[in-house]
Amino acid sequence: MNHRLAAEPGPDRAPHVVPLGVLLAVFAALIFLTCVTVWVAGIDLGEWNLFGALAIATVKAALVALYFMHLRYDSPFNALLFVTGLAFLALFLGLTLLDAVAYQPDIETFREAAKAR
């Protein structure tokens, strides 16, 4: 390598190396949470089964993103991109769901009427 670049700091020069202990701990946490989510699913909580499962999945996803994907150590802009993607997904999902759920009664009414005919 040439001298000009050798003097230069940067991720290629001094990359952030995640300690092996952290990687293994995250892995253990992910496996533990997988067991928890399977166990929780066995209990009848009604509506809360869905939200519990999603909450656990979100924690797992956050662990993967922060440590395996280095977001915790990375440029904040990359994290912003990731969050922006999720925010726009939420927007798409939210508004579509709002409308699709709201007009279902119309569809049901139509189906009943079609059956009656």
- Binding flags for other proteins, 94-113, as an x/- string (CB under 8 A): -xxxxxxxxxx-xx------
Tokens of 51: 């939200």
* Interaction between residue 21 and other proteins (CB under 8 A): no
- Going by C-alpha positions, the residue among 53, 6, 50 that lies closest to residue 61 is 53
Choice from 1, 21, 113, 115 touching other proteins (CB under 8 A): 1
Contacts 24+ apart (CB under 8 A), 62-65: 63/26, 63/29, 63/30, 64/26, 64/30
Other C-beta atoms lying within 10 Å of the C-beta of residue 60 = 19
Place of tokens 């079609």: 114
* Interaction between residue 56 and other proteins (CB under 8 A): yes
* Interaction between residue 68 and other proteins (CB under 8 A): yes
| Interface positions with other proteins (CB under 8 A) | 1-2, 4-5, 8-13, 15, 17-18, 20, 23-24, 26-27, 30-31, 34, 37-38, 40-44, 49-50, 53-54, 56-57, 60-61, 64-65, 67-70, 74-75, 77-78, 81-82, 84-86, 88-89, 91-93, 95-104, 106-107
